[in-house]
Structure 1
Amino acid sequence: MSVPLLELRGVTRRYKMPRAALLRAPAVLTAVNDISLTLVRGQTLGVVGESGSGKSTLARMIMAFEAPDEGTVLFEGTDLNRLGAAALRRARQRFQMVFQDPFGSLDPRRTVGWSIAEPLRVTRAPDIGRRVSEALDQVGLRAADAEKYPHEFSGGQRQRIAIARAIVTRPELLVADEAVSALDVSVQAQILNLLMDLQEELGLAMVFISHDLAVVACICDQMLVMRHGDSLEFGETEEVVANPRHEYTRTLLTASDI
């Protein structure tokens, strides 16, 4: 039996809240509670839920930006949180993230070519210039755009640049955290089409995080519905949409007119 590309086993993440009163123990917020899932190569997992449901915390644990308090995050069977700093930097070439705010993820003082190349410089990869040009072409921009600065591009173009930065390492997994929610509706469709085209072209697996269940239902093979850190539903998208087990999922489906 093949090893899943990504596997989460009972991951839980808690945060201590500010003290409400002197000499009183701080409250503890459970942002993600006992989540387990698997994702194989080439498939898309949609993670859906309202703001504060734990979606972004889950994404940070998948990326090993944060370690779970309990449970394990495995990438091709390797526990990411047991790797040393250097080994984790090398491993992260194989899984990359696209954030909600493309402008915030790009250094305004640097050319976009410099920003796209940043993940390659970490491991001193060869042919950096060629790979930057190739990544720009793959997201529908020109190689000459590498010499421009982020403020010279529209919001949709900046998100394309952020995607180019994510794919320049030739990853196997892309984590998109609300990657289209800050864009106009017409631009959202363009970026979604780009992500699906890149997935087909590059054979990517993808974790697509969104509050929009209609989008998730349209593009994802599997769906995880979260609320208050808990997993309410996890399974094949068609099955979750056709036979939701939880009232919250039914409410989301009704609101999305699915």
Structure 2
Amino acid sequence: MTAPLLEARNLTRRYRLPRTSLLRSAPVLTAVDDTSFTIRAGETLGVVGESGSGKSTIARMVMAFEAPDEGEVLFQGQTLHSLSAAELRVQRQKFQMVFQDPFGSLDPRRKVGWSIAEPMRAIGIDGDTARRTSEALEQVGLPTRDADKYPHEFSGGQRQRIAIARAIVTRPALLVADEAVSALDVSVQAQILNLLMDLQDDLGLGILFISHDLAVVASICDQILVMQHGKPLESGPTGQVLRAPAHPYTQTLLKAAGVFS
């Protein structure tokens, strides 16, 4: 078995909430509690749970936007939160994020070609941006001339393709997709999911796929991690979890999604 591309070890993240009284200490919310998982190249892990389950906090720790209070995230064997700012900038070309709102994540004042090239500028890649931008557009099924258009000229599904083009333009090894299809119509969701799977086949990507919808997770993911209130409840191969869910909460999600074991 190949070494993990990404390994999360015993991640815990706490937030101090506003005080409710001057006489009391500020309460603490544990958003993620002792959570571990691995992703290998070419594999998709789905993290599923309702709002407030800790899914997006996991994404932020994997992307090194936030540091865990306990535990560590290893990417290709390196602990991300021990890297210097310069070292992290080099690593960032290898893992990229696709956000939920494609319109909100694109600058409406800029042509999409500029937005697609933004991650390259952020990590110091200055040359060859035009060619790589065109290549990324073609990889997501859009014509290269679309680089000269503005975000408002595209449909929601097309904008999400542009967001994916921006994520793959640095040629990453890992994509983090945080509710990447939840804002789209069901028919468009299927197109974007198929695109992600095609890109994974072509590029060997590992994918961390975060969603509240177990039916969507089941359609694309090799492994599933079920979260509730920051705690990992159940994990395993997708088929195993769907056939024999061990936790009552997983069974509830299956019924809500219309997926029956």
Identify the TM-score tier after normalising by the shorter chain: over 0.9
CA distance in 1, matches of 2:211, 2:97: 14
Query: 1:181 is matched with which residue?
Result: 182
CA distance in 1, matches of 2:154, 2:2: 43
* Contact 2:13–2:31 (Cα < 8 Å) also in 1: yes
Does 2:221 align with 1:220?
A: yes
CA distance in 1, matches of 2:31, 2:223: 22
Query: 1:119 is matched with which residue?
Result: 119
Query: 2:205 is matched with which residue?
Result: 204
Structure 1, unmatched stretches of 5+, are none
Query: 2:154 is matched with which residue?
Result: 153
1:137-192, Cα deviation, whole Å (9 max, x unpaired): 11111111111111111111111100000000011111100000001111111111
CA distance in 1, matches of 2:50, 2:166: 28
Query: 1:91 is matched with which residue?
Result: 91
Matched residue of 1:35: which SS? strand
CA distance in 2, matches of 1:3, 1:194: 26
1:12-64, Cα deviation, whole Å (9 max, x unpaired): 00001111112311110000000011111100000100011000000110111
CA distance in 2, matches of 1:28, 1:61: 18
1:218-257 matches, within 5 Å, as: 218-257=219-258
How far the C-alpha of 1:126 sits from its partner, in A, is: 2.8
CA distance in 2, matches of 1:124, 1:195: 25
1:60-99 matches, within 5 Å, as: 60-99=60-99
Farther-moved stretch of structure 1 (212-221 vs 128-137) = 212-221
CA distance in 1, matches of 2:39, 2:77: 12
TM-score of the aligned structures, taking structure 1 as reference length: 0.98
1:88-135, Cα deviation, whole Å (9 max, x unpaired): 111010010000001111111111101100111122243110000000
CA distance in 2, matches of 1:44, 1:125: 31
Amino acid at match of 2:252: T
Amino acid at match of 1:253: L
Matched residue of 1:235: which SS? strand
How far the C-alpha of 1:87 sits from its partner, in A, is: 1.1
Deviating above 4 A after TM superposition, structure 1's stretches of 4 or more consecutive aligned residues are none
CA distance in 2, matches of 1:84, 1:104: 30
Query: 1:41 is matched with which residue?
Result: 41
Farther-moved stretch of structure 1 (199-208 vs 119-128) = 119-128
How far the C-alpha of 1:2 sits from its partner, in A, is: 4.3
CA distance in 1, matches of 2:2, 2:83: 22
How far the C-alpha of 1:7 sits from its partner, in A, is: 0.3
CA distance in 2, matches of 1:86, 1:148: 33
* Contact 2:2–2:40 (Cα < 8 Å) also in 1: no
1:200-251, Cα deviation, whole Å (9 max, x unpaired): 1111110111111011112110000000000001111111111211110011
Matched residue of 2:108: which SS? coil
Amino acid at match of 1:127: D
